[in-house]
Amino acid sequence: MLIGQSDLKYAALCAVIALSAAGCATTPIPNEKIAVARSSVQRAEQAGAPELAPVEMAAARDKLTRAEKAAAEHEALPATQLAEQANADAQLAEASAQEQRSHKAAVEFDANLQALRQETLRSSQPK
């Protein structure tokens, strides 16, 4: 059985349609999730995380970079997963930085309160 030219055109057309449909069915690149992760990294940086939570901050930056690279290579699933992980790591870095600042402020407050008590005791003792 010989395949005619119209049969070849029909087969080619079917192949193009199938490839187009497959292309439409792929997961879209998670640009919004990457933008959210980028914003979280920036907030963590502004909160002092690079100094106060360097391990968490490094993880967030690394995963954000890898998410951006995966998105550029049209690898939607890894890009999505890495963006979500970068967002979580950045939020952890920000929270860790805030906790450390709060702890430091509490320690300073306690030290100042103790100094004030000692000064009050010295002032109230008879001379």
- Class at the top of the CATH hierarchy for domain 27-124: mainly alpha
Any alpha helices (H) in the chain, and if so which ranges?
5-24, 31-46, 49-52, 54-72, 76-124
Residue 29 above 90 pLDDT?
no
Please, which pLDDT band fits residue 45 given cuts at 50, 70 and 90? very high
Question: What ranges do the domains of the chain cover?
Answer: 27-124
First to last CA, the chain: 122
Average pLDDT of 58-63?
98
Q: Read off the pTM.
A: 0.69
Q: Is 29 exposed, middle or buried, given 0-12, 13-18 or 19+ CB atoms closer than 10 A?
A: middle
State what percent of residues in the chain have pLDDT above 70.
79
Residue 94 above 50 pLDDT?
yes
The whole-number pLDDT of residue 1 equals: 45
Average pLDDT of 90-116?
94
The whole-number pLDDT of residue 79 equals: 97
